[in-house]
Structure formats: C-alpha cells, structure tokens
Chain A
Amino acid sequence: MASAFERIADIIAETSDVPRETITPDSHVIEDLGIDSLDFLDTVFAIDKAFGIKVPVEAWTQEVNSGQAPAEQYFVMKNLATRIEELVAAKAAGG
C-alpha cells in the first residue's frame, strides 16, 4: 500500500488545483501549496474518509494559535503524514 504521504499528496492533488508533482515531503500545505481553507476542508474530509479517522484540525489549530506547537508540526506534509499514521495506529489500538 502507498505510504501515508503518497496517499495524502494524491488527495490534495485531487481536491485542489495543486499539481501532484509539486507536493514534496517538505511542502507546507498552506504556505507552499497555497491551499485555502475551503480546499483544506475538502482535503481533511477526504483524509477522514480514506483513513477512517477524524483529523483533529480544531485541536491542532488551537495548539498552533496558542503557541503550544509550531505550525510545521501539523502542516508540513511529512509531519502531517506522521500525524495521520499516529491517528490510524491509535484507532487500531482502540484509542
């Protein structure tokens, strides 16, 4: 099966106007790829469905806005993929 990064990059390319080949592990989904909030909502919905999880975007945004976490932790592609893998693992473990 494709990696989480590959699957998320495919989803972003499908739900926004970003060409697939421009999406790299170091791409910041908002600053580099220029995904606006509505396309990001579509992306999150597609990720939720594809991975069978509920991406906690509100909690992440709150952490970033309050300075508890850097935006890169959640919104740079390789880190986003890691977070998604963690959510999938937590769900599989019954968490």
Chain B
Amino acid sequence: MRLEYFQMIDRVLAVDPDGIRAEALVPDASPVFEGHFPGHPLVPGVLLVETMAQASGYLLLHRLGFARMPFLASVKEAKFRSFVPPGTRLEVTARIEHDGSGYAVTRAGVTRDGQRICDAELTLRILPFPAAELEATMRAQAERIGLGAAARA
C-alpha cells in the first residue's frame, strides 16, 4: 500500500469474472499515521473503504476488459470490526452481487489471517473513461499488481 498515493492493492492473488482476491501490505511508516493517530497509528476506516472499492474496481475492469471505468457511487453497511496497525498484511476480496445496466454492486471485505477486519456493500457506476490518461494509468496499475497474470493463472 502507498497510502498517500491511494495505491491500496499490492498484488492480485486470484481473479475471475465474479470475484477477486488481493493482497495489501500496510507500510510500517506513512505520513497518514502521523495524524491518525499520534501515538496510536491506525489505517483510517475511509482508506479501508477505498481498499475495498479498488478491489471492486479492478474486478470490474477485468470483467469489462478495460472498456469502461468503475467509479464508487455508494457504500452501504460498512462495518469496521478491528484496528489495522502499520505492518499488517491484509487480504481483500470482492464479489459481484449484481451486474446492472451502467452500474454494479459488489460485496467486499478485508481480512487479516482469516479474521474479518471490515466489509461493505459497494455500488460502482460504470462510465466511459473520461480521459485517455486515466485508462492508460489503470492499465499500468493493473499490470503492476498482476491482474492480467492472475486472470491467466
């Protein structure tokens, strides 16, 4: 994870059109921890939501063949069950709950050693890429985390 750059997913472990499983390694140090919280560093819950949204997003990009871009539209029933300190290895999962017209709903979660950390239902709008630069970046990020390789495995 590079929290300051919103790069939350480090490696895709497995993906198919219906679900994704990925790894996210919380860094030992980050400016984020200086504020959240002094003397008690924790990954902010909003960044755990972002982590689940990115897993859902990569799942949808894979499903759509990068034809369009998913954007987070709503978060429902988000529950944060446990603190996440620096240096934690997380597993992130997302599954398609519903494939709608111009949107998708996923059920996503984060675990540590099999223990549930957080989960939520996410809705993502699926829109044309608004900029060629974004599409190129998403393809490069997907390559970085091994999305294509996981799909072929």
A contact set with B: CB distance below 8 Å:
38, 41-42, 44-45, 48-49, 54-59, 61
User: Does B73 make an interface contact (CB < 8 A)?
Assistant: yes
Contacts A45-B105, A45-B123 given; indicate if A38 touches B74 (C-beta within 8 A): yes
B contact set with A: CB distance below 8 Å:
73-74, 98-103, 105, 123, 125
B99 cross-chain contacts in A, Cβ below 8 A = 54
24 residue pairs of the A-B complex, CB under 8 angstroms, read: A38-B73, A41-B73, A41-B74, A41-B103, A41-B123, A41-B125, A42-B74, A42-B123, A44-B101, A44-B103, A45-B98, A45-B100, A45-B103, A45-B123, A48-B98, A54-B100, A54-B101, A55-B101, A57-B100, A57-B101, A58-B101, A58-B102, A59-B101, A61-B102
Chain A interface SS verdict (over half): helix
Closest 5 CB pairs of A and B: A58-B102, A57-B101, A58-B101, A56-B101, A41-B103
Partner of B102, one of A38, A42, A57: A57
A41 cross-chain contacts in B, Cβ below 8 A = 73-74, 103, 123, 125
Look across to chain A and name the residue whose beta carbon is closest to the beta carbon of B126. Answer: A58
B101 cross-chain contacts in A, Cβ below 8 A = 44, 54-59
Provide the bound-state CA to CA distance between A56 and B105, in Å.
16
A44 cross-chain contacts in B, Cβ below 8 A = 100-101, 103
Provide the bound-state CA to CA distance between A7 and B20, in Å.
34
Provide the bound-state CA to CA distance between A42 and B76, in Å.
11
A57 cross-chain contacts in B, Cβ below 8 A = 100-102
